[in-house]
């Protein structure tokens, strides 16, 4: 945590992306989280991913619930509209915003308390509906803002800073998202930016419900031995299934890989997610296999990371509803009001 304001002047030599913005243009206010918080690394990865994707900052809408993670949207994309909603209910607000304007990019930021406890219902239902969004769970297994209570993702048997043991079975949001029909499901680690940034880029470009469960250690309340969400524990037990490159329509595919080492997943809009396999038998387009793979490894105490599932044929809510291409919030009386003549007909039918 720092009190020194960042200078607003940008060095002229800072590289600009295709839409004319430097990385600094994607920054927000100074974080008020603890120094070393995993969440700040995630904010940095979001900044990097948006800059690399040439997204105009104001085309992103950031929505969050309540908690440490939900404060972070103030710390990136300062020119974007953000909405700190109520605890556990960001998904419904995001859904409504997305209904109103299908053209913006929706980024939902939540935590394990926000999504796995009070918001478990909304988490599940937003996945079912195929809302076109990127939903991030900044998962540290602990309630930070209220000082160290276990959250519902804490592993059974893990210990709190005060030494208490957690007796409740953990909720695995990745598995839940798969069951509920999310069409892009990944897990990352805030301490592995090289893995996280391409995951974010792919998720942001995905046209459907994308969720990334990001293990993000709480430096203050959950980084001790006995915790299964500490930096050390996650590093030791991290089993990445793949490394990915996200290739947009504009980019040429240049890198060469030996046959069998990569999988290209071409998505609806033509963009390609290229996965370098780390586990030869892992196929991220097989949802059923993904679920059992995650469970098998979890039983061995391993944390599977990477792109776990992607449905290249994902359909979003607007397509299912059959709404017009033009955002609903731009329609005026001419498009919406049937007028007095139609009303006279309705009156006549009611006599």
Binding interface with other proteins (CB under 8 A): 29, 56-59, 61, 63, 73-74, 78-86, 89, 91-101, 103-104, 121-122, 125, 129, 317-318, 321-325, 328-329, 331-333, 335-340, 342-343, 346-347, 350-351
The distance of closest approach from Cβ of residue 40 to other proteins in the complex, given in angstroms and rounded to an integer, is: 17
* Cα Rg of the chain (Å, integer): 21
Q: Which two tokens stand for residue 330?
A: 């731009």
Residue bearing tokens 């031995």: 225
The distance of closest approach from Cβ of residue 146 to other proteins in the complex, given in angstroms and rounded to an integer, is: 17
The distance of closest approach from Cβ of residue 105 to other proteins in the complex, given in angstroms and rounded to an integer, is: 9
The distance of closest approach from Cβ of residue 344 to other proteins in the complex, given in angstroms and rounded to an integer, is: 8
- Of 253 and 337, CB closest to other proteins: 337
The CB density around residue 344, as the number of other CB atoms within 10 Å, is 10
* Distance from the first to the final alpha carbon of the chain: 70
- Of 103 and 286, CB closest to other proteins: 103
Q: Rounded distance, CA 66 to CA 202, Å?
A: 26
- Of 57 and 191, CB closest to other proteins: 57
The distance of closest approach from Cβ of residue 127 to other proteins in the complex, given in angstroms and rounded to an integer, is: 12
The distance of closest approach from Cβ of residue 129 to other proteins in the complex, given in angstroms and rounded to an integer, is: 7
- Of 83 and 257, CB closest to other proteins: 83
DSSP symbol at 328: G
The CB density around residue 63, as the number of other CB atoms within 10 Å, is 27
Q: Rounded distance, CA 111 to CA 229, Å?
A: 13
- Of 135 and 246, CB closest to other proteins: 135
Q: Between the CA of residue 200 and those of 63, 138, 196, 221, what are the distances in Å?
A: 16, 13, 6, 26
- Of 125 and 237, CB closest to other proteins: 125
Give the residues across from 106 on adjacent strands: 61
- Of 58 and 156, CB closest to other proteins: 58
The distance of closest approach from Cβ of residue 306 to other proteins in the complex, given in angstroms and rounded to an integer, is: 30
Q: Rounded distance, CA 236 to CA 176, Å?
A: 24
Chain centroid, CA 346 distance in Å = 46
- Of 104 and 177, CB closest to other proteins: 104
Q: Rounded distance, CA 155 to CA 296, Å?
A: 15
Q: Is 275 strand, coil or helix? A: strand
Q: Rounded distance, CA 144 to CA 157, Å?
A: 19
Q: Rounded distance, CA 234 to CA 223, Å?
A: 10
The distance of closest approach from Cβ of residue 113 to other proteins in the complex, given in angstroms and rounded to an integer, is: 16
The distance of closest approach from Cβ of residue 85 to other proteins in the complex, given in angstroms and rounded to an integer, is: 7
Q: Rounded distance, CA 194 to CA 221, Å?
A: 26
Contact 322, 206 (CB under 8 A): no
> Torsion-angle region of residue 109: left (phi > 0), alpha (psi -120 to 50) or beta?
beta
- Of 81 and 156, CB closest to other proteins: 81
């Amino acid at each position: 945590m720092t009190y020194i304001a960042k200078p607003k002047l940008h060095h002229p030599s800072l590289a600009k992306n295709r839409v004319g913005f430097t990385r600094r243009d994607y920054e927000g206010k100074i974080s008020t989280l603890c120094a070393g918080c995993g969440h700040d690394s995630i904010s940095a990865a979001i900044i990097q991913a948006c800059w690399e994707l040439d997204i105009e900052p104001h085309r992103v809408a950031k929505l969050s619930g309540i908690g440490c993670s939900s404060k972070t949207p103030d710390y990136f994309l300062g020119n974007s509209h953000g909405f700190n909603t109520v605890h556990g209910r960001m998904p419904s607000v995001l859904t409504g915003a997305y209904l109103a304007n299908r053209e913006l990019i929706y980024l939902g930021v939540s935590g394990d308390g926000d999504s796995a406890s009070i918001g478990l219902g909304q988490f599940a239902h937003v996945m079912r509906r195929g809302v076109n969004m990127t939903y991030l769970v900044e998962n540290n297994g602990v309630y930070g803002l209220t000082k160290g209570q276990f959250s519902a993702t804490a592993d059974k048997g893990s210990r709190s800073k005060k030494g208490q043991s957690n007796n409740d079975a953990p909720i695995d949001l990745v598995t839940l998202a798969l069951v509920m029909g999310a069409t892009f499901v990944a897990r990352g680690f805030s301490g592995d930016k090289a893995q996280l940034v391409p995951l974010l880029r792919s998720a942001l470009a995905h046209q459907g419900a994308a969720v990334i469960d990001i293990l993000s250690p709480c430096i203050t309340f959950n980084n001790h031995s006995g915790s299964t969400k500490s930096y050390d524990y996650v590093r030791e037990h991290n089993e990445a299934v793949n490394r990915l490159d996200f290739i947009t329509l504009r980019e040429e595919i240049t890198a060469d890989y030996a046959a069998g080492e990569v999988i290209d997943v071409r998505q609806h809009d033509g963009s390609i997610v290229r996965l370098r396999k780390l586990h030869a038998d892992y196929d991220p387009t097989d949802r059923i296999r993904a679920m059992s793979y995650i469970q098998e490894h979890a039983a061995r105490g391993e944390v599977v990371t990477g792109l776990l599932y992607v449905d290249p044929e994902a359909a979003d809510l607007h397509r299912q509803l059959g709404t017009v291409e033009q955002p609903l919030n731009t329609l005026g009386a001419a498009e919406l009001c049937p007028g007095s003549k139609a009303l006279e007909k309705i009156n006549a039918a009611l006599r």
